[in-house]
A and B are shown apart, each in its own frame.
Chain A
Amino acid sequence: MVNQGRSLRSALLRRVIIPTGAVMLILLGVILLGANLIQHQIVEHQRVLIDALARQGDQYLSETERLMHALAYTLVTLPQEGQRTLLAQVRVEYAPRFTALYMLDETGRVLVEDTDTFTLLGLDMSGQSYFDQARQSSRVYFSAPFISLTTGQVAVTSAAPVWVADQFNGMLVGELNLMLLQEVIEQVESGESSETFIVDQYGKLVAHPDSTGVQEQRNLGYLDLVQEGLVGRMLQFDIFHDPHRDRWLIGSVNPMQCDWMVVTMQPVFVAARPLVILMGASLLAFGLSVLLFLGGQVYSMRQITTPISLLAQKADALSAGEYDEALSIEDMGQFSELLSLGRSFTQMIEAVTKRTAELETANTKLLQEIAEREQMEKALRESETRYRTLVETSPDAIVLADLDINILVCNQRAVALFGFTDVEEVIGRNTLDFIIAEDHARMLEGIQKVLRSGSLRNIEYTFCKADGTRFVGELSTSVVWNAWEEPRSFIGVVRDVTERKRLLTQVQTQAQRVQQIIDTVPEGVLLLDQERRVALVNPVAERNLAILTQVKVGGTLTTLGDRSLSELLTSPPKGLWHEVRTNAHIFEVIARPMQNEQDDEEWVLLLRDVTQEHEIQRRIQQQERLAAVGQLAAGIAHDFNNVMSTIVLYAQMAARASNLSARDRERMNVIDGQARHASRLIQQILDFSRRGILEQRSLDLLPLVKEHVQILKRTLPENIRVELVYGMDKYVVNADPTRIQQVLMNLAVNARDAMPEGGELRLELARLHVEAHKIAPLPEMTPGVWIALMVSDTGMGIPPDVLPRIYDPFFTTKAPGKGSGLGLSQVHGIVMRHAGHIDVKSQVGKGTTLTVYLPALPDQAAEAVASVPESMAKGGGETLLVVEDNVATREALIEGLEILNYHVIEAENGHEAMAILEQQRDSIALVLSDVVMPDMGGIALLRALRARGIDIGVILVTGHSFERELKDLWELGMVAWLPKPVNLARLAEVVDHALKKE
């Protein structure tokens, strides 16, 4: 069978190989023929191309050569002007061949050029390589290509020497434009991906379809083909490698007459593309014929040899007992004999298979019965073992007793529970032996109940062990019935519940303590069940709930304050706490889910009343912000103060000049007035920034406020009613009366502006006691006695969004020009300087109340407010020493004092003043000194004077507050002090007063 197959296959293979070989030979012949044709075609194409180009190039250069030669010899016969004209004519006529033409003399200097711009005229060209090269022959010389300086295009220099009677007479030089060659090359159609170009004798590009290469002066001398051309060989159809671009090329080269050469080249694969196509088509045809032959062979084999070998395989399978495998005969071909053989074979196998199946069924049934029996026995054994294990491993004592409750059987747990070591010690005993006598009656009663009902569960008895110790146990009893439904025995199960009872007590105690803790925490704790009902609250939470919602314990919670409960049960967007607000309160709420045993979700809510905390925080922030702004403002105000001092003094002095016209005097007064206004604004800023100078003393506010109310009644519009309310108390504070007047004035002006339609302005004085641990009107107020000054109006009120900014300097809601925005800032600063506090309450449309709290002083006789005299005292020519570092301020002071009829000596700092005073002590009546100076300030000067025993009156001039040092300074003998900016009237008064004191 196998041998037959093999011979069949080899016969068929032979039939395939012979025709295939024949086809291959034919194809090879076709390829070689095609290759030869293509090669001839390429060679011919390249030869024609480069020949034509070389001829054209040669012609261009030889024409040029002839022209140059003729021109050179003509030129030497002409005068200079004629030479220039001829050169210009030639250049135009042969354009664009020459980009420049010029004639050199025998030394190489430019004699004539083709233009009249004379850029080259007189230049020495003897250094140019063409000069020597051309002079050595009589022929026209062509240089290597270069990029022309004038055109930026590739050019060569052509030089024609002129020899007259064997004497070198000069040289015609032309810059030859090679654009013509470039244009020709660009127009050549040399084929796909092929390049045709011209290179010079060194391989440098002269013309190339891609002019960039020429511009970049690329050198292609590295190519094998070009190198062959460089040594003068004409090559056609050379295959070579371009190492720079890593590719194979086919090319030809043709040298030109001037040592240049024309080169054409094309990538091998592009040139040989027709051949590749030819080879591809031939291979395809070959492949198809082979496939056809193979197909025929496979078909024949399948029809005869395959069915027979299949039948043999199936017979082998049958002998090995693989009936299924033997039965699976799929295809016996198309021949009837083979098909009949296949059918008979199948019928035989089916008969054998049927008999075998019957025997197998009987055998299987027998085996199954045996297995079932074994299974039942095994199950019985396992069941018994299970129950035994159950009883023995039970944590409870289990006993079986007869109807007289004598123990028949028990487990190991029972032995241990009753305090024995062996089962035999327990068996035979009566159950009552293990129960204390007090419980016997109950036990017997129980037995009767069991007999009636069949079982009794968890009856608690006190048991006693073998050693007499007792324990509490639960007994569950059941009756065991016999086949005739008669009681046969009891089964008793005893469980020791001592530990359980102890734990229960412990849990109850802990629960009580937890409740106590929850009740005593200072924050509200609230438990919500899964239905969101309030299940538990501590007392704080109960109070909070009353504020936040109407819901009581047991009620369902849906909202808290302004927030829905569902929102509160999620994580807050910022921080840990949700903020919940009512009209007057702010709460912080945090919710945590709690899983109970039933897996229901319950929630614990923590409620914190942070209303007061928020208020404190807000006020602290406001104070800090105002302090920061104040610091900034103070810096600016201080410098302005110095400037204003000078302006005020000079304006006042100028106004006093006798020769001033009325109009100028008026102008000076305007300057003075405006400067004073500016000074007031500075004062306001200084007050706000708490830098103003304060003269505090014991002051009863009542007469001051009364006096002020009188002024207000006179000055405010009639439609504003002014009212003062006060009690029988004393309202004594430590304050600067002028500043308090300022506060009253600013508050009254604000109230007036708030009531354009009229209303009621109410001033109220009250004395209040703030006690520790009790709520103060303002959180920052310390315990003690406070005087409250309230200024209320019935005006338009302040909108809530404006309220936080009312103390900001320059913040105003008034129309431009109506207010400086400094009034309340000043009030705030002054109150803070007095260690006081300020509060504002306002309702839009109803009015505003501003309350100033100042610490009360113990009752004592307060000083009355002194009035300021208006007269301007003049001096009697006394000598004063002015010490001031700022030149402008010093000069203003000096002039002011001189107007007031004093003689003035000046010093720039404390040291200088000391030196003057030591020499002229007797002639100087008084010292006026600035406080802050870089080199020994006023206070240091005062101390130094006293240290040296110089007892002279000193007036300190200051822009800063120095109230802390004030007491010391008075003691040191400071006679007076003047605030900056210095006002002439005040200066006159203080100096006069000081001199009189002296």
Chain B
Amino acid sequence: MKRAFSVGLLLSLLLCWGACGRKRSILVGFAGELTNRRGPGGPDARDGAQLAVDAINAEGGIRGRSMTLIVKDDQRDPVAARRVDAELNAEGVVAIIGHLSSGQTAAALDFTNEEGIVLLSPVSASSAFSGQRDYFFRVVPDNALLGYALAVHLYQNRGLSHLTFIYDLSNQAFTESLWGVVHHEFTRFGGVVDKTFTFMHGDTDLKALMARVKRTDPEALVMIAAPGDTALMAQYGRQLGVEVPLFGSSWAQSQDLLEKGGRAVEGLELVAGFHPENPYPAFQPFVERFEAHYGRSPTFSAAFAYEGVLVLARALEQTHGRAEGLPEALTAIESLEGIQGLISINEYGDVERDVYIVQVNQGSFRVIHTLSPD
């Protein structure tokens, strides 16, 4: 307050000139749903990615150049997804971290592949993107693994023989892909799928839907939906007297589920790629930093977005901050120290990581089974 204005002014002028003379920053795009009512996944992922960018810059950046994250909101609208990717491309980003749902990723993928832009999704798990040599990369295990793990758990650990599914069509690329894998594996083991219900987030009256579900007298319910919707369906289900085991998808693993679900989600089990109490050494420091910055615990979106930036930064080190050669540099990544474990990207841009069965226990998530990709 009391420092002399002219001294401050001269200092800031010098700093600005210093800034002008610095190396040009590496632009990295971020595209995800930031303004939607489906859940806080978008802001979580953005904050995770920004935390990683700040950490990398604090360590000296990439070969002396800082990273700058340009954030765009894809509004959960396929047209907007393509538009924001085009905008980011025009602004000269070397790669895009995003999108945050398989539906949005599917909408943008043709464009990014055509333009040759690396699209590194933290959380899009649909199997539709697996096994393809293109510009799509991810750090989250895909639905083939998640679905198989859930089917094994349902049939073998829980001894279920009949299932009823509910999935959200507003993120069809993810939900239908996971449903397909679980359905296939479960029936292959000998189980029977009694009925599959679908709904559209925001348009469907979930209470009425649960009333229809109750009429089919299900033995167990698998809900592949956003955390808020999963919570509400659980609440309505319990209200209507649907007292059967409930299961969910990795998408639902969020504080939102616990808060909105209350006691109705107690005992709910879901398959996830995220371990909230991961014993890996780098995990707890990450949690602490995230909480210190944002005053809330990190979710799976935040953790995978953070790792997405780490993976991209490693590849950019190899390409000297350029977009050329980025796909090759990404597929060459082997045993990179992430925050949840070592990360290796295979030739198709996918990862194979541990998958967890997580149970809601006294208002928090507890890992009850771990399945390694082997």
Contact = CB atoms under 8 A, between A and B. Distances in A.
A212 B228 CA distance: 22
A146 B228 CA distance: 13
Interface stretch (A180-188, A216-224, A586-594): A216-224
Contact of B295 (A36, A108, A123, A202): A202
Given A237-B1, A241-B15, A246-B19, A215 B35 contact: yes
Interface string B1-26: 10001101101100110010000010
A32 B6 contact: yes
A796 interface: no
A268 interface: yes
Interface string B324-345: 0000000000000000000000
B235 A152 contact: no
Interface string A211-240: 010011111011000000000000111010
B262 A217 contact: no
A236 B3 CA distance: 12
B171 to A, nearest CB: 17
A124 B37 contact: no
B35 A147 contact: yes
Contacts of B245: none
B34 interface: yes
A119 interface: yes
B293 A248 contact: no
Given A32-B6, A127-B265, A219 B293 contact: yes
A217, A235, A241 pick with most chain B CB within 10 angstroms: A217
A127 B47 contact: no
B15, B46, B294 pick with most chain A CB within 10 angstroms: B294
Interface stretch (B100-108, B134-142, B253-261, B309-317): B253-261
Interface string A200-218: 0111100000001001111
B37 A243 contact: no
A906 to B, nearest CB: 50
B239 A126 contact: no
B295 A201 contact: yes
Given A123-B239, A212-B73, A239-B12, A128 B37 contact: no
Given A35-B5, A127-B262, A246 B68 contact: yes
B152 to A, nearest CB: 29
B54 interface: yes
Nearest to A125: B262
Nearest to B8: A239
Contacts, number: 107
A115 to B, nearest CB: 14
A159 to B, nearest CB: 13
A31 interface: yes
B294 A202 contact: yes
Given A31-B6, A215-B35, A243 B57 contact: yes
A39 interface: yes
A202 B262 contact: no
Nearest to B15: A248
B191 interface: no
A320 interface: no
Contacts of B232: 123
A122 B34 CA distance: 31
B9 A275 contact: yes
A66 B34 CA distance: 34
A206 to B, nearest CB: 13
A35 to B, nearest CB: 5
A36 B68 contact: no
A32 B7 CA distance: 10
Given A123-B235, A215-B35, A216-B73, A35 B259 contact: no
A122 B43 contact: no
A129 interface: yes
A413 to B, nearest CB: 78
A129 B259 contact: yes
A146 B239 CA distance: 26
Nearest to B234: A124
Given A144-B295, A246-B25, A246-B68, A126 B6 contact: no
A152 B235 CA distance: 22
A292 interface: no
B313 to A, nearest CB: 16
Interface in B245-302: 258-265, 293-296
B293 A222 contact: yes
B103 to A, nearest CB: 19
Contacts of A212: 35, 73
A383 B190 CA distance: 123
B262 to A, nearest CB: 3
A272 B6 CA distance: 10
- Give the interface size bracket for B toward A: 35 or more
A266 to B, nearest CB: 13
- Give the interface size bracket for A toward B: 35 or more
B4 to A, nearest CB: 9
A774 interface: no
Contact of B5 (A36, A122, A129, A236): A36
B6 A128 contact: no
Contacts of A217: 34, 40, 43
A122 B35 contact: no
B68 A126 contact: no
A108 B235 CA distance: 13
Contacts of A32: 6
A967 B264 CA distance: 94
Contact of A216 (B43, B239, B262): B43
B218 interface: no
A525 to B, nearest CB: 62
B294 A127 contact: no
B93 interface: no
B40 A39 contact: no
B166 interface: no
Contacts of B293: 202-203, 219, 221-222
Nearest to B58: A243
B296 A124 contact: no
Contact of B262 (A123, A144, A203): A123
Nearest to B256: A146
Interface string A115-140: 00001001111111100000000000
B295 A216 contact: no
A250 to B, nearest CB: 9
A211 to B, nearest CB: 10
A35 B47 contact: no
A39 B263 CA distance: 57
A127 B239 contact: no
Given A202-B294, A215-B35, A216-B35, A126 B1 contact: no
Contacts of B73: 212, 215-216
Given A119-B207, A124-B264, A219 B47 contact: yes
B363 interface: yes
B69 interface: yes
B9 A35 contact: yes
A598 to B, nearest CB: 66
Interface in B66-123: 68-69, 71, 73
B15 A124 contact: no
Contacts of A218: 43
Contacts of B71: 216
Interface of B: 1, 5-6, 8-9, 11-12, 15-16, 19, 25, 34-35, 37, 40, 42-43, 46-47, 50, 54, 57, 68-69, 71, 73, 207, 228, 232, 235, 238-239, 258-265, 293-296, 363
28 contacts: A108-B263, A122-B239, A123-B235, A124-B261, A127-B259, A127-B363, A147-B35, A147-B40, A149-B37, A152-B35, A152-B37, A202-B293, A202-B296, A203-B293, A203-B295, A204-B294, A204-B295, A216-B34, A216-B43, A216-B71, A216-B73, A217-B34, A217-B40, A217-B43, A221-B294, A239-B11, A243-B54, A248-B16
Q: Which 4 A-B pairs have the closest CB atoms?
A: A202-B295, A124-B262, A127-B262, A216-B34
Given A127-B259, A128-B259, A241-B15, 8 more contacts: A38-B5, A149-B228, A152-B37, A204-B294, A215-B34, A216-B46, A246-B68, A268-B12
